[in-house]
Amino acid sequence: MFHANTPSTDRNASTRPSRSSTPRLLDSSTRASVSLSRGDWSLHRKGAIDQQRHQRKVREALKANLADIVSEQSLITSDGKKIVRVPIRTLEEYKFRFDRGDQQGVGAGNGDSKVGDVLARGGRPGPGQGAGAGDQPGIEYYEADVTMDELAELVFEDLGLPNLEPKRLRELESEALRFTDIRKTGPFANLDKKQTIRQNLQRNARKGEARFGDLATDDLRFRTWEQTVQYEANGVVLAMMDVSGSMGTNEKYLSRAFYFWMVRFLRTKYDRVEIVFIAHHAEAKEVTEDEFFTRGESGGTRASTAYALALDIIEHRYPPADWNIYPFHFSDGDNWPSDNETARVLVERLADFSSLFGYGEIRPARAGYQSSLGHAIAKIDHPKIQRVTLADRTDVYPALRAFFSLDREEVGASQ
């Protein structure tokens, strides 16, 4: 807001300009007082600002608790499309807090305080304080409603298929459209506003009118497109899972939890990566995705059958010259003893063909314990073999990062 007060030096009313007169310009002999002010509209946006801040806090809390969140059973058993409620234990819902009168002062010091000094404490004890059963409520946590796509974006934001190399390329029609030309006709959804305004300005300028207006049909310009052909590197992931009798409920859950997120990761980031599902006990079988995640089996364990089937599928459907190959196998490691050497040889062959071979073993976190299959694979010295161990649900997210992190230094530090 601009105010200019110009007191007249002539007190004669007849010499003052009338209301209809053109106001005279201020000169150096005229005293003027000027005040500038601008309305502060931030309070009108306070709700939106608080909402954005809260959403940022929710995102930060989700990232800090991904190891716990990705292993939630409600997510693994969901269809992957619904909004899910995720418990966040480091974020409380906004609420008014009643002053019980036990707070001494307002936390103000006397001027002699240093960083880290405790200025005041509330009277209510914190979690874990006091002996025996208590009568105080526990710490509540906030449940955030997030879509699976939003959660997947956080989980996969810096992950990718490692060692992805250009192979013999296929021609693939891209679903994306590339705009290549400007025309006078077309659907209004493709109206090029910038070109339309430019044409209108040029037409008016030719008439001696430097302005935008009187839009005519001849001013309209539309973008046209063509469907492009793009070339992509081929990739196939072979998901192998032990479903034998030695795999208990927890072992099968951890395997399926990892593969649930792996499949979602691949379909979120890659349009053309194919996935083959193999379940095995004493025998191996290629199964559908639904069977892979739902069927239960029993019987003995011969891991070599899964590796042999994977090699056969690669030979007949995915030649290494044309495909980036990523075999993954999850097991408890309790393999038939006489089968371990055969399994080791086949893993070496798979690793030679692969961009990465991943082996995940689900076993108790006991120092010095190693399964027979894990011991056989550990003897292989191959740069493309990556091994992880899962002891409980919080290890699912680190396993994803170990296999799919593009930062190989991070992977080396996690081993």
Spatial neighbors of 104 by CB under 8 A, at least 6 apart, are 120
Higher pLDDT, 304 or 131: 304
Let me know: does 264 contact 375? Beta carbons within 8 Å. Answer: no
Q: Check residue 17 and give its pLDDT.
A: 45
How far is the CA of 374 from the CAs of 63, 104, 248, 346, 380, in angstroms?
A: 32, 60, 18, 14, 10
Q: Check residue 311 and give its pLDDT.
A: 96
Give 373-399 pLDDT, tens digit per residue.
999 999 999 999 999 999 988 899 899
- Encode 146-165: b = buried (16+ Cβ within 10 Å), e = exposed: bebebbbeebbeebebbebe
How far is the CA of 97 from the CAs of 93, 100, 178, 317, 355, in angstroms?
A: 12, 9, 56, 65, 56
Largest alpha-carbon pair distance within the chain? 120
Listed in sequence order, the DSSP H helices in 111-192 are 148-156
- Parse the chain into domains and list their residue ranges: 47-93+141-157, 170-231, 233-414
Listed in sequence order, the DSSP H helices in 270-395 are 289-294, 303-317, 340-353, 372-378
Report the range of poorest mean pLDDT among 173-182, 249-258, 284-293, 366-375. Answer: 173-182
pLDDT at residue 267 greater than cutoff 90: no
Read off the amino acid at residue 17.
P
Confidence band (pLDDT; 50, 70, 90) for 109? low
Q: Check residue 49 and give its pLDDT.
A: 73
Phi, psi for 71 (deg, rounded to 5): -95, 5
Confidence band (pLDDT; 50, 70, 90) for 367? low
Report the range of poorest mean pLDDT among 51-60, 173-182, 265-274. Answer: 173-182
Level-2 CATH architecture, domain 233-414: 3-Layer(aba) Sandwich (3.40)
HSE-CB for 317 with a 13 A CA cutoff: 13
- Encode 267-282: b = buried (16+ Cβ within 10 Å), e = exposed: ebebeebebbbbbbbb
pLDDT at residue 97 greater than cutoff 50: yes
Give the bridge partners for 33, in sequence order: 5
Confidence band (pLDDT; 50, 70, 90) for 258? very high
- Helical pair 249-269 and 148-156, crossing angle rounded to 10 deg: 90
Question: Over pLDDT 90: what percentage of the chain?
Answer: 30
Q: Check residue 89 and give its pLDDT.
A: 57
Q: Check residue 148 and give its pLDDT.
A: 72
Confidence band (pLDDT; 50, 70, 90) for 4? very low
Let me know: does 273 contact 254? Beta carbons within 8 Å. Answer: no
Look-up of token digits 């371990």: 340
DSSP track, 360-377:
EEE----TT---HHHHHH
Strands (E), 6-155: 33-36, 83-88, 142-147
Let me know: does 360 contact 258? Beta carbons within 8 Å. Answer: yes
As a whole number of angstroms, the distance between CA 325 and CA 262 comes to 15
pLDDT at residue 168 greater than cutoff 70: no
Confidence band (pLDDT; 50, 70, 90) for 144? low
Higher pLDDT, 175 or 383: 383
Q: Check residue 362 and give its pLDDT.
A: 92
pTM for this prediction: 0.60
Q: Check residue 58 and give its pLDDT.
A: 72
Sign of CA dihedral 186, 190, 191, 195: negative
How far is the CA of 325 from the CAs of 166, 239, 279, in angstroms?
A: 12, 11, 18
Question: Over pLDDT 70: what percentage of the chain?
Answer: 63
Look-up of token digits 């502060």: 40
Coil, helix or strand at residue 381: coil
CA angle 246, 297, 259 (to 5 degrees): 85
